[in-house]
Structure 1
Amino acid sequence: MNAARGFTVLIPARLASTRLPDKPLADIAGLPMVVHVARRAGQSGAARVVVAADDARIVDACAAHGVEALLTRKDHPSGSDRLAEACVQLGLPDEALVVNVQGDEPLIQADLIDAVACTLAERPEAEMSTAVHAIDSLEEFLNPNVVKAVLDARGMALYFSRAPIPWWRDGHLPGGGFSALPSPAPWRHIGIYGYRAGFVRSFPSLPPAPIETGEALEQLRALWHGHRIAVHQSAHAPGPGVDTPADLERVRRLFEG
């Protein structure tokens, strides 16, 4: 991963969550969840791991466990806006590589972080990078909560959607649904992103795109405005994230095991 040497991991973390209040501070095996995420990220090739928090309680919890954190505004509409402020606070140069690791991914793999950073470093024509893995379940393919991706021949993103794409015409049943998964297998998007710091700072000033609003997928704003997203094709799915109390209990059991 020499091409990505010196990259920074930024972990946006906010207390407000409708499904799981105070989520970054949720206890998992005796540590706040956001600390687990930061420690996982610290096992990657990143030169620096920083939590971008919206509340002093997150900053204090990180400091208590030796994790670097900075305080950002509470009123950011998205994680990308929080990342932009963090890049400004850290004084990162435009060409610096940043990997956005979500604060609710306590089982994130270090090699996935490295791969996303390296993918961007090796593709100078791209402003962003992300990751996908092959879908092996028809139920997952049809689930609108599972974001699908379509790539071009060079591994660049063409589109992301909650719909089952690419549409398999010959596998579509007359009454609706599909008889099986398309072949080759469709791609599931993994919610991790690499950026050039200059692009992160400019992203919030880009007008939201109609396709972004309809799909509720922020990465579509970049594609809409003509920016390229390079995609790492992972051989395996990431560990489960935490969105709900049930997710939290599942992850706690995995740590206990």
Structure 2
Amino acid sequence: MDSFAVVYAPLGQETRTEQVVQRLRGAITSGLLSAEEQLPSESDLARMLGVSTVTVREALNTLRAQGLIDTRRGRHGGSFVCQLEALDQVHLRFFQTLTTEYISDLGEFYCALAARSAWLAAQRATQDEWTLFARLVEQFQAASTAHTRARADMRCMITLISYAQSARLVSQSLQLQNEWMPLTVVLYEKNGIHERLVTDYQQLLKALQRSDATQSRALIEQQIEFMIEQILTIKMQN
């Protein structure tokens, strides 16, 4: 499953406007949908997500009001992802409102979701998919700013979770990005974090390529536990 399929995979019957908003907002903030990328038409979105066009229209109105997309008229018009240069400040303000208890709880949920996904992905993904994942790890290594590193990290994680071949895990991971992304942007401002996590991803990739489910799960748990520890340290120092 590629990133396009993850973003536009059908939603469940219980879906409402806010769930569509969360799905697309998570994809935008995590970098699955890039700046200036055009979204499918309202009718195509409704068909792919399994909802009504009215629900899609309401969701797009919300995203537009939040400054995440803009709509252009004309023959080449449509809804496009906005440039998000100011998003770092939004993430920082959000981080400042969080408690250590909230961060710990969110991190534990993220760790559980990612660990199970890695365990499944090691058994289910193909070598071609691991080749793609290796390229994403290389992109993460090459990223040079806190925001681009955070977005590359999120792309690696969402892709890994998609390899578990569970629609529920994918849906949960996209919703989670809205809360987790601000924490990682702040984290990657800290010296030495990026280099450590590049090494972690490289070790994880080797275990995944060997189809070693147990080792893959252990490595992703260690990686996210390290991130949580560092994020809590930053929080307590502020």
* TM-score, scaled relative to structure 1: 0.30
> Higher strand proportion, which one?
1
